[in-house]
């Protein structure tokens, strides 16, 4: 069902366009880009090689998403400074087309739709509500600039390496997801609307030959020490922190990214531990230690086949089960004092920078030691509604206590083991200070007091000109985003 065909002007190989919306195609034999015009096929020159990126799909794969047949017609590779990611150009059987992307073990499927009047890129900010016409009101979760680096197969535009792409990702009601594509910023935006779906919603039926070696299908070899680490979330993890040598590496590129000090403590739930919780199988694939100025806590990354990733957090007072939320489901009208979810009001408990201090195992994002997000926790009863913001990217989640006895039973661990030992101190209320039960609390408290005194002196010195906050702070956070962040 070709809409156009001919021969590659560079190498003579047959070129077939299967999607009406396609403008260009990267020849699979010579990697020259071929653009179709009214009269012929034009050679646009060679496209840069693709960087290896973990992926569950490949160009020419067919399959179904929620029962709808799709074909993966092409992919574009982009980068916003932290490393490459892929977006897949998909064609539906009825002629419609759109994009498929994955993040955090979720699929994001969108279709091209006629856009209503949309705000200009410069006026957009995270957590802003935007009316998408018939699709409803969506909320901005991410606003970024990427750069096109390479492509493969058919595409609805010409691939020009280095071309900037301005875009915003939005979440809507009932799992809705949308992308406003501002292109290079000088053309009217295009709109893609669809859904966020769990990993199991996509069934790939006929896999094409993979263009790159399957990444870490069975084991990952640490490029620092050569150790073989069993793959726990294969084709989904971006980084490995080696359990033998602690080096952090880029899995697909087999490149050491940074070294880190040996762990001070071992995880209560060892990496590779498997178990079932609420009827879902999980494997513990990653471990992250994070700290604010006053507290430190541990986070476990769990991969659930067919579901995606979930977090389990051990803080000072309890184990918490974290469920990611759509930003569209959070009531932000009383921010920053309170936030609402499902009709319940949660009040602000603390707002702190949260910094990654140590990682172990496989992580689905390009984690860096020291990466910091602005974290806000809102509470009601024992539940915590959390907001993590890194630059122009924001993610919300809700956490509920999970007793260690339940976790120990699920993962076949000692019910009176190290996981049962919590520090017993409640988290501090916002602005209240105090808390903590560790031996270094006094040093931390003195540090905070010194910092406050310094701040008072500095503010007094700059008198009226000091706005107090230091700007919006968007520039200091990395573009890699928060651990809870995603697409």
Applying CB under 5 A, the residues found at the interface with Zn ion are: 8, 10-11, 13, 27, 29-30, 222, 224-225, 227, 242, 244-245
Output 224 or 397, the one with its CB closest to Zn ion: 224
Output 33 or 181, the one with its CB closest to Zn ion: 33
Min separation Cβ 75 and Zn ion, Å: 18
Output 27 or 53, the one with its CB closest to Zn ion: 27
Min separation Cβ 332 and Zn ion, Å: 43
Strand ranges (E), 37-83: 41-46, 62-65, 68-79
Residues 217 and 232 sit within 8 Å (Cβ to Cβ): no
Min separation Cβ 27 and Zn ion, Å: 3
DSSP category for residue 485: -
* Short-list 241, 115, 224, 214, CA closest to 170: 115
Min separation Cβ 222 and Zn ion, Å: 3
Output 3 or 245, the one with its CB closest to Zn ion: 245
Min separation Cβ 5 and Zn ion, Å: 14
Checking 94-97 for CB contacts under 8 A at 24+ apart, the result is 95/20, 97/19, 97/20, 97/21, 97/73, 97/156
Output 244 or 415, the one with its CB closest to Zn ion: 244
Element (H, E) at 411: helix 404-411
CA atoms within 13 A on the CB side of 55: 25
Residues 211 and 59 sit within 8 Å (Cβ to Cβ): yes
Residue 169 to residue 163: CA distance in whole angstroms: 19
Phi and psi dihedrals of 39, rounded to 5? -105, -40
Min separation Cβ 357 and Zn ion, Å: 19
Is the previous residue joined to 336 through a cis bond, with omega within 30 degrees of 0? yes
DSSP category for residue 449: H
The residue with tokens 């910091």 is: 372
Min separation Cβ 43 and Zn ion, Å: 8
Residue 164 to residue 481: CA distance in whole angstroms: 19
Output 27 or 233, the one with its CB closest to Zn ion: 27
Min separation Cβ 289 and Zn ion, Å: 18
Residue 465 to residue 38: CA distance in whole angstroms: 61
**Is 407 in a helix, a strand, or coil?**
helix
Terminal Cα distance for the chain, rounded: 33
Checking 66-71 for CB contacts under 8 A at 24+ apart, the result is 66/195, 66/197, 66/201, 68/92, 68/93, 69/93, 70/100, 71/18
**Is 339 in a helix, a strand, or coil?**
strand
Beta bridge partners of 312: 300, 321
């Amino acid at each position: 069902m070709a809409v156009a065909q001919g021969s590659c002007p560079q190498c003579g190989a047959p070129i077939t366009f299967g999607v009406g919306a396609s403008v260009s195609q990267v020849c699979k034999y010579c990697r020259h880009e071929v653009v179709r015009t009214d009269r012929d096929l034009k050679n646009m020159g060679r496209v840069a090689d693709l960087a290896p990126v973990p992926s569950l799909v490949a160009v020419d794969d067919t399959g179904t998403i929620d029962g709808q047949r799709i074909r993966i017609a092409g992919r574009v590779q982009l980068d916003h400074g932290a490393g490459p990611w892929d977006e897949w150009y998909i064609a539906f059987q009825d002629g419609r087309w759109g994009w498929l992307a994955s993040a955090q073990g979720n699929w994001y499927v969108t279709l091209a739709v006629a856009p209503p009047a949309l705000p200009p890129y410069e006026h957009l900010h995270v957590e802003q509500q935007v009316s998408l016409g018939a699709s409803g009101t969506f909320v901005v979760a991410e606003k970024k600039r990427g750069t096109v680096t390479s492509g493969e197969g058919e595409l609805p535009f010409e691939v020009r390496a280095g071309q900037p792409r301005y875009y915003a990702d939005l979440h809507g009601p009932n799992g809705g997801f949308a992308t406003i594509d501002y292109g290079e910023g000088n053309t009217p935006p295009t709109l893609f609307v669809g859904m966020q779906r769990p990993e199991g919603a996509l069934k790939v039926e006929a896999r094409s030959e993979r263009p790159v070696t399957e990444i870490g299908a069975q084991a990952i070899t640490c490029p620092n020490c050569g150790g073989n680490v069993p793959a726990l979330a294969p084709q989904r993890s971006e980084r490995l922190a080696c359990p033998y040598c602690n080096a952090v590496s880029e899995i697909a590129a087999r490149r050491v990214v940074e070294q880190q000090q040996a762990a001070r403590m071992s995880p209560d739930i060892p990496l590779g531990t498997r178990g079932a919780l609420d009827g879902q199988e999980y494997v513990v694939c990653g471990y992250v230690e994070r700290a604010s100025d006053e507290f430190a806590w541990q986070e476990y990354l769990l991969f659930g086949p067919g579901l995606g990733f979930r977090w389990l957090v051990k803080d000072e007072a309890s184990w918490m089960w974290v469920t990611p939320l759509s930003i569209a489901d959070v009531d932000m009208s009383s921010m920053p004092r309170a936030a609402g979810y499902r009709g319940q009001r949660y009040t602000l408990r603390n707002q702190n920078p949260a910094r990654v201090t140590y990682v172990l195992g496989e992580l689905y994002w390009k984690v860096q030691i020291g990466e910091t997000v602005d974290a806000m926790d809102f509470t009601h009863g024992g539940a915590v509604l959390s907001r993590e913001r890194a630059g122009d990217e924001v993610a919300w989640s809700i956490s509920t206590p999970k007793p260690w006895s339940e976790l120990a039973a699920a993962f076949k661990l000692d019910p009176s083991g190290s996981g049962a030992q919590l520090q017993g101190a409640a988290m501090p209320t916002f602005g209240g200070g105090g808390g903590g039960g560790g031996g270094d609390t006094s040093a931390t408290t003195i540090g905070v007091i010194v910092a406050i005194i310094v701040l008072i002196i500095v503010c007094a010195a700059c008198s009226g000109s000091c706005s107090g906050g230091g700007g919006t702070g968007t520039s200091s956070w990395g573009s890699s985003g928060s651990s809870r962040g995603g697409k």
